[in-house]
Amino acid sequence: MRTLNLGILAHVDAGKTSLTERLLYAAGVIYEIGSVDSGNTQTDTLALERQRGITIKSAVVSFVINGVTVNLIDTPGHPDFIAEVERALGVLDGAVLVISAVEGVQSQTRVLMRTLQRLHIPTLIFVNKIDRVGADDARVLQAISEKLTPSIVAMGSTRDLGTRNAVSPAYGAGDAVFTARLADLLAEHDDAFLANYVNDEMAVSYSHLRAALAAQTRQALVYPVFFGSAITGAGVDSLIAGITELLPAAEGDDGGPVSATVFKIERGPAGEKIAYVRMFSGAVRVRDRLQFGNEREGKVTAISVFDRGSAVQRASVAAGQIGKLWGLGDVRIADAIGVPRGNADRHYFAPPTLESVISPRRTTDIGALRVALDQLAEQDPLINLRQDDVRQEIFVSLYGEVQKEVIQATLAAEYGIEVDFRETTTICIERPFGTGESVEVLYAKTKTNVTGNCSPFSSNPFLATLGLRVDPAPIGSGIEFRLAVDVRLVPIYIYKTVDTFIDHMEQYVRETLQQGLFGWQVTDCIVTMIDSGYRAPGTTAADFRKLTPLILMSALREAGTTVYEPMHRFHLEIPADTFGATVPVLARLRAVPQTQEMRGASYVLDGEVPAARVHELQQQLPALTRGEGVLECAFDRYEPIDGAIPTRPRTDHNPLDRKEYLLHVLRRV
């Protein structure tokens, strides 16, 4: 039986979870459709999800339709939980992007569609809520074509929009306008098809059209659009037929080497770690010993495979399937199991741009809070905890205020820890704007200071020679580490292989660049190792690890860095008579409208605003617009800061201050 790993994605409140319920009902997995408002859906199982009526964690359910086993991943729609969506994307064979027939294309819809296109994930579009007042199929189709992609074709018509009787009859071979539109679209992407179509239009049969549509959909060249209602079930049968006909089945060789990706981690009733994996090749069996991540390993003690609803115990999980593995105590999200795939470390969305200090209300809970946050970070690595031991503070990275509230409620409900957050601040980044290099040589002579006394801080106290150069790299390229020394200068007796040495050095570099000259993470740079040396058998890995921050920060200081702040795109709709009061506030918050137009009784403005001002704009908007203003924001890019440069307190031993660093690292405090 074919297997299809399918993602359901949407802007919040587009009806994604309701569609999941309808699909499960149609497949016979459930006999009563749950409601998001009632909090009894199959995939929103967390108490907080049921309480708030939003999806927070990705959930997997399985069902069989038309002879295809579908593993369906229901992902969050709220932008604060985009990290959950990112992890799901790497395991999908296809996707359904849900759009509301009333609200149409929204900010998160655009973000998701751009990512699906960039990853070439075959996608069907489902325009939901045709039964709702205000549904407009023509307007939504035009918005999809203009804002998402022109390579779309409507797969059915609509009748009685905005009523409970709304339906979407599927087009067929007898619909001449549909077949002509479909042929024109397919011809744009296939020269052979175009030649047949131009030479003898009648020779292109309807079966040929459907086969070509399936082929181009699976190549993510075209995007079929279905209309319907998850609540009434209208149009869902056509969508189900499209899922099995137009989207590709999972590929993989059961007999090949084991290759899998961990896309979710949860804790069981006894606190045991459970890893959700997508198998790309091979098979994993109970009691198999697996290698994953950076030279870690574990023994599988139990396996569940998703089958017709929830996961059921199995002896093995094979290529194409999604399973849950027990026994891998050190496993982390995004770990590759066995043979890694080429895109295992890719990130598809922007990192969090906000940060806040979290503290327990009871000082005696500080230790328990650290343990709890570590476990939450296992499930969501982009939380990105930073700990300042000097000030006894813990920093948490965030996507938005809703995520802060969810973390607070989760800690109270699951760990019994009451916490408070400080005011949210913006996370900036640093990029080098020049080239710098620095070298520390083993056996360097001790220099004397002005008094003639030997200074332990004027020479290299570590048994290693290390030289690093920092160069700027293209925006968005991240951090690249290169080795430019003779391999004979690499201490093989410590690291066993050159590749292992490179891996460790890259880790030391990345850890150091978490805090740059102004305290922000440094990115978009190339770090090249230009000198190396050691003394066997005295030199240890610790010598290279502890020397790296001194050398790298010295090189970075010579290169210089620029601090960038995150900027968001905004889409704002306000009553026309509030325009005069709103524009001055936008200017004060450095929100710059780039386009504006009158639509009926509303003004629509699109522009950019610093991420640091988004929350303030959200707070002021209701009063400015009588509660009628609608604001959508999404991260766009980083922009150099013009004016006073913000700094962030360091949480390391400050390698920018050589004396302070050596005092701590050499334990001479």
Token reading at 47? 């108490």
Into which CATH architecture does domain 2-172+222-246 fall?
3-Layer(aba) Sandwich (3.40)
pLDDT, tens digit, for every residue of 173-191?
999 899 989 989 998 888 7
Q: Who's near 46: CB < 8 A, 6+ residues apart? A: 56, 57
Asked if 586 contacts 468 with a C-beta cutoff of 8 angstroms, the reply is: no
> Where are the CATH 3.30.70.870 domain residues in the chain?
354-427
- The CA-based dihedral angle spanning residues 372, 374, 377, 379, taken in that order and rounded to the nearest 10 degrees: -70
Enumerate the β-bridge partners of residue 395.
Answer: 357, 386
Q: Which CATH number is 354-427 given?
A: 3.30.70.870
The pLDDT confidence band at residue 358, using thresholds 50, 70 and 90, is very high
Asked if 338 contacts 259 with a C-beta cutoff of 8 angstroms, the reply is: yes
> Where are the CATH 3.40.50.300 domain residues in the chain?
2-172+222-246
Enumerate the β-bridge partners of residue 73.
Answer: 7, 60
More confidently predicted of 383 and 535: 535
Share of the chain above pLDDT 90, in %: 48
The pLDDT confidence band at residue 74, using thresholds 50, 70 and 90, is confident
Q: Given a cut of 90, is residue 126 above it in pLDDT?
A: yes
Burial of 400 (0-12, 13-18, 19+ CB in 10 A): buried
Asked if 447 contacts 509 with a C-beta cutoff of 8 angstroms, the reply is: no
pLDDT, tens digit, for every residue of 458-491?
478 999 999 999 999 999 899 999 999 998 899 9
Give the span between the Cα atoms of 165 and 181, in whole angstroms. 27
- Helix ranges (H only) for 287-389 are 366-379
> Where are the CATH 3.30.70.240 domain residues in the chain?
566-640
Element (H, E) at 131: none
- The CA-based dihedral angle spanning residues 308, 310, 312, 316, taken in that order and rounded to the nearest 10 degrees: 80
Q: Which pairing describes strands 386-388 and 68-74: parallel, antiparallel, or unpaired?
A: unpaired
The pLDDT confidence band at residue 199, using thresholds 50, 70 and 90, is low
Quickly count: other Cβ atoms within 10 Å of residue 418's Cβ.
Answer: 13
**In Å, how far from its chain's centre is CA 292?**
21
How confident is the prediction for the chain on average, in pLDDT?
85
Q: Given a cut of 60, is residue 258 above it in pLDDT?
A: yes
Class of the domain covering 259-338: mainly beta
Asked if 61 contacts 70 with a C-beta cutoff of 8 angstroms, the reply is: no
Predicted local distance difference test score (pLDDT) of residue 29: 83
Predicted local distance difference test score (pLDDT) of residue 404: 83
More confidently predicted of 202 and 118: 118
Asked if 225 contacts 152 with a C-beta cutoff of 8 angstroms, the reply is: yes
pLDDT, tens digit, for every residue of 275-315?
999 999 999 999 999 998 777 889 999 999 987 767 889 99
The pTM score is 0.68
Q: Is the dihedral of CA 12, 13, 17, 22 positive or negative?
A: negative
Instruction: For 429-483, give the secondary structure using H, E and C.
Output: EEEECCCEEEEECCCCCCCECCCCCECCCCCCCCCEEEEEEEEECCCCCCEEEEE
Q: Which pairing describes strands 59-65 and 429-432: parallel, antiparallel, or unpaired?
A: unpaired
CA distances from 112 to 11, 94, 96, 412, 449 (A): 8, 13, 11, 32, 60
φ and ψ of 542, to 5 deg: -60, -30
Quick one: average pLDDT of 85-90? 73
The pLDDT confidence band at residue 110, using thresholds 50, 70 and 90, is confident
> Where are the CATH 2.40.30.10 domain residues in the chain?
259-338
Give the span between the Cα atoms of 75 and 82, in whole angstroms. 9
Quick one: average pLDDT of 123-142? 95
Strand order in the sheet with 123-128: 59-65, 68-74, 2-10, 94-100, 123-128, 223-227, 152-154
273-287, 332-346, 600-614, 653-667 — which is least confidently predicted? 332-346
Fold of the CATH domain 566-640: Alpha-Beta Plaits (3.30.70)
